[in-house]
Structure 1
Amino acid sequence: MLRKGNSKLYFLAAALILIAGGCSVWQNFTAYFNTYYNAKTLFEQVEEEREKLNHPLFEFKEPKLPGSAQTPVVKVIEKCSKILQFDQESSYVDDALLMIGKSFYFQSEFAKALRKFNELAAVEDTDLLLINQYWIGITELHLRNFDEGYNKLEEVKKMALEEGEDELVDRVYIKQIAFLNFRENYADAVDLSKELLEVTDNEELQAETYFQLGKFYVELDQVENAAEAFAALDSYSPSFEIEFLSKFEAAKLQKQLGNVDESLQLLQDMREEGKFNQHFDKLDLEIAQIYLDKEELDAALELYTIIDTTYKNEPSSGEAKFKRAEIWEKYFRDYDSANFYYEKAISSTASTERKNEARAKSSTFNNYFKLKQEQDKLYKQIIYRTDPESFYRDSLAYADYISRDTSTAISDSLLFDRDNLPEGEDEEEKANFAAIQDTAKIEDKLVKPVKMDITADSLNTLIAKNLFNLGNVFFGELQVVDSAYHYYNLIDSQYPNISFKPKFLFTYANYYSSIGEEEKADSLFNYVYVNFSADAVAAEAAKRLGKTEITETTNPLELSYLEAEKIYFASNFDTAIDSFYNIYSEHPDSYLAPKALYTVGYILENDLQLLDSAAAVYDSLAQKYSNTDYARASSKKLNFYRSYHRNIQDSLDLIQKQIADSIKADSLANVIPEIIESDSLENQNGNLPDSLINSLLPGDSSAVIEENDLKTPSDKKEKVYKDIIKPDKDLPDSLKKKLR
């Protein structure tokens, strides 16, 4: 077999033979050579396009090929495949195999790439053996054959060192370090980075390695070592980007070391140099953060505003919007303004992570605003009860307002003060921000009065529940504990007889624990543990106290319920249903009655899939225990079920009407009843066929039903049983999915 060393003689001899052989043979040879040349040119174009991506040197994940390289890489594979078909003996075969393998690698088709590299490895005496082994090693890593890939690279590194292949040695080290970085094995990555610094003579690579070494030290929380590594690269030849990043990271590290003023000075010096003007937005963000850390709020807000408006197309603009929202939320506690900027951040140039945070914040605030509106509405009911005339006064005032033209004249007292807008806002931003404030103030004034027809006890329950939800927003989501305490204390002092007392007291105990008042927290946990042993939170309270979880009770009804649960968990569904139903029917006024009835419905729905029967049980639950968590938990399912049957009936009525309207003669009239009686609309059991139900169901009604929050009978698999009324035929799968 001829190899590369003999290629020139081979092709010279081949050329003579081809000339002697005739014109057609020469044309074939020319086409072969042109195919190789074109493939090589296209492949070099692909590599150049990859270089333009400026992919971080020590990042393991391969970048996606740019669009400009997508077509060329496919053509490389096609042309190189033709070369392999033309002549398996020429030196071009080696290059063709390597180019195909690398092309597949660039496309992240690692399995295909490995097959081609292995084909090349089987070629005898190839000059590409060592570089091919390198590609096999890194491909194995991407196929998650970590040991094989890493060991292969070790072999290549050893051979390359022996043969003086310095560039290949560098490449192996880079890939190994990138892999360790990917695996978050920072300690070994540090050691390997130090080895690379000792063996390489490439000053630009040394500079970038020092930078990466500093980042590894940061991950290991070795701040001083990190600072030294960032400073060391100045002695080499860093690229412009690495020089900026190292100085930038060094400045941030000074703040981490507690040298805030020194950090600020370094950042300001970098900005004043003018050398890094394309990174001014990053410098300004870090400077603004220092102002914020020092609680120089005006300076921070002003600089974030400048960043937001100056670098609109940069990620820093989105980050600035998010930080402005945080300032309004955490420092000024102006939640309307905070929500305005969080919503702006959602559609901004911010990172995906920041957008998700902003989206969660906005959802929290919208929930908070709804709870506040509901609280105002509920408090109004107290006024209407103590002063019945106030409802009529409010109604008259509202009627008078809406009868006037308010589109052009709004009281100045309801308008936001435009003079208080931050400097640097563009006019559109100012208008949007002020409009939000106007709307918030106007809506506070203009609420249509509503008088609720409920008992005083029900009203107090609703108020307490709403206060509890408000407290939870502040405690769990906004983490403003003083506001959380305000609402929890109101419940504790004014609403002692709430139905959700165990859950409230457990949360209240968690509040005290969060502020370090463990004695009060333990007292409340113990109260829950002793007085509400049948409630699920008692077990959690026991854990917090370090006590044995409650597993037994002496209450006969509770023992009956526990026994029913055991039957259920043994999958004896019929018997379990009877047991739970007996608890409900024999003790309808017990606190366990709604829970037992809900469990019956749950088993029918989820274990026996008797959805008609489950709906009947949920309907009874809604009628008899409407104010319980169990009725609320099943309400959406029940509403959907009712809506579904209404839609079916409406559709049947429409079909019947269309049939009636279309009857033109007595002969047709005689046929219609036979059609209806024999097939599509109803069978003998009164159930609709799947085909009609599927055609009547909405295209996407899954959003109507949400997964149950309520957990019963325990935190295991909440299942619950068959029905007292079994329908003659089960519902189709399409409806089961909607009800579940």
Structure 2
Amino acid sequence: MKKVKIILPLILLSIFLSSCAVTNYVKNGFENFTTYFNIYYNASKIFKEAEEEILKQQKDLFTTKVIAPSGNATNKLVQVIEKCSKILQYHQNSSLVDDALFMIGKAYYYQREFPSAIRKFSELLATFPDSKYSLEAKLWIARSYAQTIEVDRSLKLLNDVYLEAKDAKNKKVMSNALLEILKIYFKKNDYEGIINVGQEFIKISSDDEAIAQVLMQIGNSYAKLGQFDKALENYSRVKKYTSDYYYIFKSQLEYAKILREKERFDEAKEILDDLYSEELFNDYKDYTELEYAYLYLSQKDTSKALSYFTKVDTTYQSKETAGIAQFEIANYLENVLGNLDSAKFYYDKSLRSQITDDLKKNAQFKSNLLNRYKNLWTSIRNFEKQIPILRTFPIDTTYPKFQEIEIDSSKLNDSAYLADLQEYLAEKRRADSLYYEKLRRDSLTYQANLKTADSLEVNIARLKFDLATLFMVDYNKPDSAYTHLKEIVEKFPNKDFSERSIYALASYYETKGEKDKADSLYLYLYNNFTDSEISKIVAKRLKLPPKVSKKDLPDLEYNGAEKLVEQGKYKEAIDSLYKIYEKYTKTDYAPKSLLMIGYIYENKLAQYDSAYSVYKLLKDKFPNSLYTQRINSKLIAYESELQKKEMERKAAQDSLEKKNETPELKPDENENIDDGKKEEPVELKTEEPVEKKIEKPAEIKSEEPIKPDSSTQEKQPDNRRRRR
């Protein structure tokens, strides 16, 4: 009975607990069910439609950038994000939360919002580390980084994903990771990487269409590396993996290009003929005709090549091949026919067509060069037209010289004749005056015109140097540059552009193997030009010591003066420093040299007046110099000492003058002046005045300067007096 009492509560408890579990299970299951059908199912359906539309746009696997989705696809992706966000907000207990996060991340990726995509995939990994989507989420994170500037980080993540998928034996993720790595190598033009990773991809991938595209890229990489036989091998395998007419056609066209490169022209033409006659490839006839043009161009049949290029240009104007044909026509006109105006027209036309970015950059560069070439020649011809006019003396048309007449001496007594003669002479004087005045003005104008003509010739030479540079550097036509360089060097050996012209001409001779001519010009540069990088290059080339630059000369000379001071050769140092001051007045070495001269007088020679004279000159000439600030206090102290000495000298002189004064003697009225005796005059004896001893300044003794400056040197007082 007791056992029954114990068992009964246990049974009731177990029934209660099991009923709770069943209730929770039913509750969670119902939530998952309602979440799936009400929200997730609809979101998943919409996302699938948007993804299919986007992937149809991205037919080429090696498109390195995510193509912007259409407006319809964008709206669907926005709906997906909204619906999945509701799952995260209102159904956190649902088992579909990780599904929602994964779908939101992909929706952001397709919308090209890569930071948001990375954030959602990372949230998925952090919240559900064991989710069925964890490996794919890592792959999508790496994909997202590949679309940003962090490509190297993406590459590392992709390799990690590949190894993790390999351990998990997940071939789908492995092949997708390898495909993303291939895209990065394709973007970097890493042909070896494409070949190695591509071959690994082919081994594990089950996607035949993807394999076909990878084989195309492997073939292209071998072709870029010049391994044509391996390229042909991979191109020939493409048609085994795809039923897409485009890639079958493309592989055969590339096969024909390789045969052309190997100069197997007949085989290449046979393949092109087959492609051209096949109705399945009618949509790609423009590519075939373009390759016909290149095939004839390789065989030097420029007439047929130009004919095909022109046909492609006129027949397929809206296609990429038309832009390529226009570029080739421009290239032919420029380099073969030399018709630069027409060449520029076709380069500009190709820029308006659908061509690759690389070809567009090349066309823009060529167009700019031709424009520059045209502008240079236009300026040169305009200047050349003006020079003969400027060098021609103005023709006198306004005031012709007065006609001379012979005077009839037999009619000089005739008053009427004399009156006419006087009128003629007056008119002649007036006309001659006007004529010579105009001649004077014309002469001044002519002299000014001659200077203008000389200036124009210099400008022409400068423009021709730019033209020669264009030929030498941009067009790689040194022979065309040679004519202009030789003319410039012969006419203008000492202009600002002469050094570069001579160096360019020397380089031309060197490339032509004319070493003696080149070395002669290099030696001329070495001897006549010092302040440039070219002079240093020339010194190295000739294995000669580099010449001291003019800007380094003051420093070199100043260092030499300092060494003379160290050797105790003070007079030579002072002479050298004075020369530096006079030669480089507009540089800092002028005040610096004066400061050093003053220092020598003061501290080495103890000639303080000379030191003062130089310091005064330094202050007068360079009042704002930092070197002047160093001696301002000395000048103030010395000048105050001079004033004190002058005051003491004046006081002593005044005292002496007072003592030398004697009273005037008046004769006594009672004294007999004329007594027949003459008195000797009384000599006034004056005592020698005791001059007050003047103390000399503590630092400066009064001596005659070695090199006085008349404008600044103080005149010293003369304390000596003559005895009367």
Short-chain TM bin: 0.5 to 0.7
SS in structure 2 of the partner of residue 281 of structure 1: helix
> Higher relative contact order at CA 8 Å, sep ≥6: structure 1 or structure 2?
1
Shift in CA distance, 528/85, structure 1 to aligned 2, threshold 3 Å: same
Match of 1:94 in 2: 98
Candidates 140, 148, 158, aligned match of 2:166? 158
Deviation at residue 533 of structure 1 after TM alignment: 2.2
Candidates 287, 295, 302, aligned match of 2:292? 287
Shift in CA distance, 201/367, structure 1 to aligned 2, threshold 3 Å: closer
Match of 1:532 in 2: 529
**Residue 381 of structure 2 corresponds to residue 376 of structure 1:** yes
Deviation at residue 504 of structure 1 after TM alignment: 0.9
**Residue 80 of structure 2 corresponds to residue 70 of structure 1:** no
Asked if the contact 1:39/1:80 (under 8 Å) is kept, the reply is yes
Match of 2:107 in 1: 103
Where do 5+ consecutive residues of structure 1 fail to align? 1-8, 19-27, 393-450, 565-577, 587-740
Deviation at residue 305 of structure 1 after TM alignment: 1.6
How far apart, CA to CA, are the structure 2 residues paired with 1:291 and 1:562?
67
How many residue pairs match? The answer is 492
**Residue 171 of structure 2 corresponds to residue 171 of structure 1:** no
Deviation at residue 332 of structure 1 after TM alignment: 0.6
Shift in CA distance, 224/516, structure 1 to aligned 2, threshold 3 Å: farther
Asked if the contact 2:218/2:231 (under 8 Å) is kept, the reply is yes
SS in structure 1 of the partner of residue 486 of structure 2: helix
Instruction: Provide, for residues 14-34 of structure 1, a one-character-per-residue CA deviation record: whole Å limited to 9, x for no partner.
Output: 49979xxxxxxxxx9868733
**Residue 203 of structure 2 corresponds to residue 198 of structure 1:** yes
Asked if the contact 1:210/1:233 (under 8 Å) is kept, the reply is yes
SS in structure 1 of the partner of residue 57 of structure 2: coil
1:241 maps to amino acid: Y
Larger radius of gyration: 2
Shift in CA distance, 187/378, structure 1 to aligned 2, threshold 3 Å: closer
Deviation at residue 174 of structure 1 after TM alignment: 1.9
Match of 1:259 in 2: 264
Shift in CA distance, 206/454, structure 1 to aligned 2, threshold 3 Å: same
1:45 maps to amino acid: E
Stretch deviating more after TM superposition (122-131 or 497-506): 122-131
Shift in CA distance, 91/551, structure 1 to aligned 2, threshold 3 Å: farther
Match of 1:440 in 2: none
Stretch deviating more after TM superposition (112-121 or 331-340): 112-121
Instruction: Provide, for residues 273-321 of structure 1, a one-character-per-residue CA deviation record: whole Å limited to 9, x for no partner.
Output: 2332222222222222233333322222222221111111112222222
Shift in CA distance, 584/337, structure 1 to aligned 2, threshold 3 Å: farther
Asked if the contact 2:161/2:174 (under 8 Å) is kept, the reply is no
Deviation at residue 149 of structure 1 after TM alignment: 0.7
SS in structure 1 of the partner of residue 521 of structure 2: helix
Asked if the contact 2:191/2:225 (under 8 Å) is kept, the reply is yes
2:175 maps to amino acid: D
Match of 1:550 in 2: 546
How far apart, CA to CA, are the structure 1 residues paired with 2:235 and 2:132?
40
Shift in CA distance, 184/298, structure 1 to aligned 2, threshold 3 Å: closer
Match of 1:304 in 2: 309
2:238 maps to amino acid: L
2:479 maps to amino acid: D
Instruction: Provide, for residues 586-641 of structure 1, a one-character-per-residue CA deviation record: whole Å limited to 9, x for no partner.
Output: 9xxxxxxxxxxxxxxxxxxxxxxxxxxxxxxxxxxxxxxxxxxxxxxxxxxxxxxx
Asked if the contact 1:214/1:230 (under 8 Å) is kept, the reply is yes
Deviation at residue 457 of structure 1 after TM alignment: 3.6
Shift in CA distance, 245/495, structure 1 to aligned 2, threshold 3 Å: same
**Residue 323 of structure 2 corresponds to residue 323 of structure 1:** no
Asked if the contact 1:104/1:113 (under 8 Å) is kept, the reply is yes
Match of 2:638 in 1: none
Instruction: Provide, for residues 459-513 of structure 1, a one-character-per-residue CA deviation record: whole Å limited to 9, x for no partner.
Output: 4323322332332232223333332222223334455554532111011123334
How far apart, CA to CA, are the structure 1 residues paired with 2:278 and 2:396?
68
Asked if the contact 1:308/1:317 (under 8 Å) is kept, the reply is yes
1:552 maps to amino acid: V
Deviation at residue 247 of structure 1 after TM alignment: 1.2
Instruction: Provide, for residues 198-226 of structure 1, a one-character-per-residue CA deviation record: whole Å limited to 9, x for no partner.
Output: 33344333333322221232343322211
Shift in CA distance, 355/547, structure 1 to aligned 2, threshold 3 Å: same
2:122 maps to amino acid: N
Asked if the contact 2:391/2:449 (under 8 Å) is kept, the reply is no
Shift in CA distance, 537/173, structure 1 to aligned 2, threshold 3 Å: closer
Match of 2:487 in 1: 490
1:671-710 matches, within 5 Å, as none
How far apart, CA to CA, are the structure 2 residues paired with 1:361 and 1:125?
58
**Residue 509 of structure 2 corresponds to residue 504 of structure 1:** no
**Residue 52 of structure 2 corresponds to residue 48 of structure 1:** yes
1:333-344 matches, within 5 Å, as 333-344=338-349
Asked if the contact 1:534/1:558 (under 8 Å) is kept, the reply is no
1:152 maps to amino acid: D
Asked if the contact 1:137/1:152 (under 8 Å) is kept, the reply is no
Match of 1:149 in 2: 157
Shift in CA distance, 376/131, structure 1 to aligned 2, threshold 3 Å: closer
Q: How high is the TM-score relative to the length of structure 2? A: 0.60
Asked if the contact 1:134/1:156 (under 8 Å) is kept, the reply is no
Instruction: Provide, for residues 114-173 of structure 1, a one-character-per-residue CA deviation record: whole Å limited to 9, x for no partner.
Output: 332233333275443443343345445555424651343223431452xxx544443233
Asked if the contact 2:260/2:298 (under 8 Å) is kept, the reply is no
Match of 1:560 in 2: 554
How far apart, CA to CA, are the structure 2 residues paired with 1:185 and 1:535?
41
Match of 2:242 in 1: 237
1:313 maps to amino acid: S
How far apart, CA to CA, are the structure 1 residues paired with 2:108 and 2:557?
63
Instruction: Provide, for residues 304-353 of structure 1, a one-character-per-residue CA deviation record: whole Å limited to 9, x for no partner.
Output: 22111111111222222222111111001112222222232333333343
**Residue 503 of structure 2 corresponds to residue 476 of structure 1:** no
Asked if the contact 2:323/2:355 (under 8 Å) is kept, the reply is yes
Match of 2:230 in 1: 225
Candidates 461, 464, 467, aligned match of 2:464? 467
Match of 2:424 in 1: none
Shift in CA distance, 202/369, structure 1 to aligned 2, threshold 3 Å: closer
Candidates 364, 367, 380, aligned match of 1:362? 367
Asked if the contact 2:158/2:180 (under 8 Å) is kept, the reply is no
How far apart, CA to CA, are the structure 2 residues paired with 1:63 and 1:580?
67
Candidates 191, 215, 240, aligned match of 1:210? 215
Match of 1:269 in 2: 274
Asked if the contact 1:140/1:149 (under 8 Å) is kept, the reply is no
2:50 maps to amino acid: V
Asked if the contact 1:318/1:351 (under 8 Å) is kept, the reply is no
Q: How high is the TM-score relative to the length of structure 1? A: 0.59
2:166 maps to amino acid: K
How far apart, CA to CA, are the structure 2 residues paired with 1:176 and 1:540?
46
Deviation at residue 96 of structure 1 after TM alignment: 0.6
Match of 2:664 in 1: none
Where do 5+ consecutive residues of structure 2 fail to align? 1-21, 398-447, 559-581, 591-724
Deviation at residue 82 of structure 1 after TM alignment: 0.5
Shift in CA distance, 546/454, structure 1 to aligned 2, threshold 3 Å: closer
2:202 maps to amino acid: L
